[in-house]
Structures are given as structure tokens and as C-alpha cells.
Structure 1
Amino acid sequence: MTKRVRNSVRPTKPLVRAPMRIGSLDAAAVVGELRQMHEDAEDPDVERMPADDELFSALMYAEKHAQALRSHAPEVQRAAALKRVQLWEYFREQADVHQVRAVDDARAAGAQWNELAPMMAVAAPSAAYNKAKRMRAVGLTDETPRAHRVRRTPEAVLEAERRLLLEQAAERRALEAARRRHALLVPVATRLLEQRAALACDEDVDYWLEEVEAVLPHCQTPLQMVSLKRYLDAALRALKKLETRTARSVALTADARLALEAALEAASLESDEDPAAITP
């Protein structure tokens, strides 16, 4: 009989099924529901139950005083036990997140993997390193459309972290490019507004120039920088449209013409540099 060959799976390959997780949970509210069950059962010690946000202590209390719910119907006892199961699973997920942060702090303070090994209940420095990497999978997703959780293997976590670093670097480059474009747009937008009285305007032109005027003094965030470009582009399109419709230059003076040409040139450079720029 031919021996069946087991298919090998790349360590970085996403799981076939997305791992089930509790994820976001209002744990304090669930603890509050448990508390209400104990109050309804007239648990004589319920006043000693820890606060709703003291998850571990509250769970320990609920476990120790589970018999106090015996006066309730079986379905109520079952519901209380299920809530405890859910909260323990949530606690387990959160423990990984916080232990990773503790490991990071220890490493930043100079702790070696051989020192961390016994603290992490493993036998060797390499095992501590691998365990720390596996725990990082809690907060990482893969590159699939559904963004599954990363497999709990060091290789998968390293690959996800590498991809995350690349994405962060791309975001920093995009932000820096936006700042450079913004530095170019501010003076030309300011100059165009200064010549507003010397520009032929209609309702659309007035509207978009007012938008430029409103956002220009407050451009600090990337969103505000994008808004300035969007409004300036719209104002320039409205001016060109008015010029085409009237067959006359919208610049009524030489200074206004120079300001308009500078704005059009800046907008042209913007389009060449960022063809995906947002426009209204």
C-alpha cells in the first residue's frame, strides 16, 4: 500500500480557516451581567465581588461562588457558566497582547532571551524568542482580502511584521510628499486669493475660492493639506470653465494673470507627481 504523503505547508502561508477569536468585547458589561445574576440569586457575598473592570478577580469570585446560583433555573446557571468561559477566553487573548508588551519592555531594558526563558515558562532562549513571536500573531493580519489572523509561527509573524514595516514606510513617504506639495501650494493659493478682486468670478469660482480661503490658514494635518489641493483644483477648473464660456481671460490685470499662471503650473506639477490625487 502506497504511503500517503502529507502536503507541506509554508510556515508563512495563511490558515485555510480564519482563527476564531473573541476580539472586541465589553468585558466590564459581561461581568456586570454576572453580578446581576448573583444579586438575583441573593448571593450573600455578592457585595464582596470585585468591580466590573477587575476582570481576573471578578472571574475568580464567580468561579468560587458558582454554587450561589443553584437557586436559579438550569438555563440561568448555564448562561452564567458560558459567560465565564467567554470572559476567560477574552482574558487569554488579552494576556498575549500585554505579555508581548512586557517582553518588549524587558528587551528594551537590556534583558537577554536566556533571562526571559524561565519567565516565559520555556527551556531555552530560542524557545522564548519563538514564543514571543507567536504571541505577536494576536495583533497581526495576513495579506489576504479577508485579512485573516496571522498563523502562530515565528516565520509568519516575521513576514507580517516585514510587510507592516513596508506599509509604514510607504505611508511616511506619502506624508512627506504631501508636505512638499503643500509647501508649494500655500504660496500660490495665497497669491491667487490676494488677486481675487482682479479675477472674473461666477458663483462656482466664488464658492471654491471661499473654500480655499477657509482652509488655508489651518493646514496642519494631511487631511487639511488634501482639502487645500482639492479646493484649489476646483477653483482653477471653475476659472477655466468660465474663461471658455465667456471667451475672455478671467485675469483682469497682469498681476492676476501671473498669479493664475503660477497656480495652474503648481496644479500641473501636482498632477504629474500624484496622478491619483483626490478631486471633487
Structure 2
Amino acid sequence: MATKKRKGVKPTSPLVRVPVRVGRIDASGLVGDLRNLHENADDKDVERMPADTDLYGALLYVESHAEALDDESDEVRGAAAVKRALLWEYLREQADVHQLVAIDDARAANVEWAGLVSALGVRSPSAAYNKAQRLRAVSLTDPSSVDGRPVRRTPEAVSEMQRRIAAAAAAERRREEAARKRHTLILPVARRLVENREGLAPDEDADDWLDEVTTLLKDCRTPTQKVSLERYVAAAVRSLKKWEQNTARPAAVTPEAQLALAAATELLQD
């Protein structure tokens, strides 16, 4: 019977299942727990155990002195071994992150990929580059993913995700620039609106929001105040537009009010 061929996975496709990672843990606290287990077992050399912050040294100690727990119950010895396994996995994950930092520092110092071959345990500059890209996948998540889905550990997937992240960052910069533009223009637009409020529709909601605008204009300097001012102006404009729809009459009856309302509407649409 012919075997069913497995469909290949595109190298740029994100992971279908989120891989299990240790992530953030209280490593020093776990080392302290191991120290307590050895002290309770009367480990005669426990004073030589490195500090709780020396994770690598402490793990080497408890591994080489595991026999100190031989007289303890299976529960105690098992708990100690599981903590050791957890801490080694945590250390492995941290090594990926810190090795990538070292690679980035080397590249920033104009070290060619050929100069990283032996340091990364590979055989060619291209392999060094690919390994760096795989390490980079650890710190990347899909910005379009609700659950922060990590990236496949392939150079192609990392390159694609870097492109997406750069595009998302560029879009965010454009949004920030548009917001700065609005904040620059919101003061004169708001003043013009309240100066011509007599020519606007007698809508109660709009009047309430324009009162808020008038009060805030007396002292509006900080970015937070300008954001609030923009919200009040937007609320006033919405109320006036709603009044216009409900009455089938223009919300601005004087030429100056019409221009002020048009300027506010245009600014809020940018």
C-alpha cells in the first residue's frame, strides 16, 4: 500500500502550536530550595555551594553532591532532581538570548560571519548567519497574533517576521506623526470652534462638550491635555453631525461657523 506523503511546511509559516517554554521563573528562589534540601540532609559540604545568584555554579554543585540526598525519601530526591532539570532548561533558554546579544555586539563591531564560525560551533559563514537567525526567533513574536505566537526557528521565518515587525513599526511611526500633527493643530481649531459657537446648532450635548473645550483651552499645554482636548472636540463634532442628521438642517449657520466646523471635521478625519 502506498504511503501517504506528508505535506511540507513552509519555512516562513509560524508555528501551529506554541512551544512550551519555561519563561520567567524565580531561579534564585529555586536554588535556595535546593540549598535547603541539602542542609536538611546534613550535606557536610553545603557551605561550599555557590551563592543563589550563581545559577551555573550552584547547579554543578547539587549535581556533584546528589548523593548527599541518598538517605532522603524518593519524594525529596525526586523534587530536587525536578528542580535541577527545570533550572537547566531555564539556563538553556537564557543562553540563547545572551548568545544572540553577543553575536549582535560582534556584528556591531564589524566582525564578519566568518569570524563567528568557530564561536558558534558551525562550519561556514552562512551556517553562522542561519544559527543567529534561529536564535533570533526566540525573541520574536508575531505582532498580528493575539497570543503572541512565536516564530518558527528557520532563517526564512525570522526574516519574514522581521519584515512584518519593521512594517508594523513604520505604521506606528506614521500614526504617531499624524497624532503629533493633530496635537499641533488642535489648539487653533478648537479655539476657532468655540469662538464661533453662536453660529452652531443649539444642541445640548454639543454645548456641553464645547463648554469642556472652553475650560480646557484656558490651560492646555501638555500632551495629555491635548489628547483630552481632541476628544472633547471630536465629541462636540459628533453631536453636531447627529443633530444635523436628525433635523435635516445644517449644524453651522454662519460662514465662520461653517469653516470652523469643517476644519474640525477634517482634522479629526486625518
Same fold, judged at TM 0.5 (above): yes
| Cα distance change, pair 225–70 in 1 and its aligned pair in 2 (3 A) | farther
- Post-superposition shift, 1:190? 5.7
Number of the residue aligned with 1:217:
221
**How much has 1:271 moved relative to structure 2?**
3.2
- Residue 43 of structure 1 is matched in structure 2 by 43
What residue ranges of structure 2 are gaps of 5+ in the alignment? 244-253
Question: What is the distance in 2 between the residues matched to 1:154 and 1:170?
Answer: 24
Residues 45 and 225 of structure 1, relative CA distance in 2, 3 Å threshold: farther
Q: Does structure 2 conserve the Cα–Cα contact (< 8 Å) formed by 1:140 and 1:149? A: yes
Question: Do structure 1's residue 188 and structure 2's residue 185 form an aligned pair?
Answer: no
TM-score between both structures, scaled by the size of structure 2: 0.79
User: Who is 1:5 aligned against?
Assistant: 5
**Residue 268 (structure 2) pairs with residue 264 (structure 1):** no
Pairwise mapping of residues 118-137 of structure 1 onto structure 2 (< 5 A)? Answer: 118-137=118-137
Residue 226 of structure 1: how far off its partner (Å): 3.5
User: 2:90 aligns to what?
Assistant: 90
SS at match of 1:216: coil
Aligned to 2:249: none
In the TM superposition, residue 261 of structure 1 has moved relative to its aligned partner by 6.4
- Equivalent position of 2:231 in the other structure: 230
Q: Identity across aligned pairs (percent)? A: 52
- When normalised by structure 1's length, the TM-score is 0.77
Q: Specify the code of the residue in structure 2 equivalent to 1:150.
A: V
Following TM superposition, by how much is the alpha carbon of 1:48 offset from its aligned partner in structure 2, in angstroms? 3.2
Q: Which amino acid aligns with 1:234?
A: A
Matches of 1:233 and 1:16, distance apart in 2: 42
- The 5 A counterparts of 1:86-165 are 86-142=86-142, 143-165=144-166
* Counterpart residue number, 2:246: none
Of 45-54 and 134-143, the range deviating more from structure 2: 45-54
Give, in angstroms, the shift of residue 24 of structure 1. 2.1
Aligned residues: 262
Q: Which residue of the partner structure matches residue 179 of structure 2? A: 178
Deviates more, 1:264-273 or 1:129-138: 264-273
Q: CA RMSD in A?
A: 3.7
Q: Distance in 1 between matches of 2:175 and 2:36?
A: 51
228-237 or 147-156, which deviates more: 228-237
Pairwise CA distance, 1:107: 0.7
Match in the other structure for 2:55: 55
